[in-house]
């Protein structure tokens, strides 16, 4: 593969990765093997073989999406440690630079 080491360097740069010279040689070798395997697969005659996106039948195993009445707000707020104006009140987690939060 021509300039494969340079391609690995470019991919690493785009991915914000850095490799030692030994790692670069290793990845270059691995990439060459992968490309050779893909080229070998491209040579396989698949004439008459039906295209399959999935190897199993796509069956919807999820329940039907049905709207159901939820728990009343008053009941939920009774279980909350603190509430205000119909909402659950939680402690401030982010300091915006002002005193008290």
Enclosing domain of residue 20: 3-41
Q: What are the start-end ranges of the H helices in the chain? A: 4-14, 21-42, 73-79
Q: Are 28 and 4 in contact (CB under 8 A)?
A: yes
Identify whether 68 is part of a domain. no
Q: How many folded domains does the chain comprise? A: 1
pLDDT digit string (tens) for the chain, length 101 residues: 456 788 888 888 899 988 898 998 888 888 889 989 999 999 999 999 888 777 777 677 788 889 999 999 999 999 999 999 999 999 888 877 766 55
pLDDT for 72 equals 93
Identify whether 46 is part of a domain. no
Identify whether 24 is part of a domain. yes
Taking the C-alpha atoms of residue 94 and residue 84, their distance in angstroms, rounded to an integer, is 19
Nearest to 30 by CA among 11, 58, 52, 49: 11
Q: Are 89 and 95 in contact (CB under 8 A)?
A: no
Identify whether 18 is part of a domain. yes
Identify whether 36 is part of a domain. yes
């Amino acid at each position: 593969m021509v300039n494969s080491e340079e391609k690995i360097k470019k991919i690493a740069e785009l991915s914000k990765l850095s490799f030692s010279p030994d790692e670069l040689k290793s990845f270059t070798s691995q990439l060459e093997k992968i490309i050779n395997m893909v080229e070998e697969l491209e040579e396989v005659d698949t004439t008459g073989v039906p295209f399959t996106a999935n190897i199993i039948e796509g069956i919807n195993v999820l329940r039907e999406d049905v709207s159901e009445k939820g728990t009343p707000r008053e009941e939920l707020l009774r279980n909350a440690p603190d509430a205000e104006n119909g909402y659950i009140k939680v402690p401030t987690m982010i300091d915006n630079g002002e005193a008290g939060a």
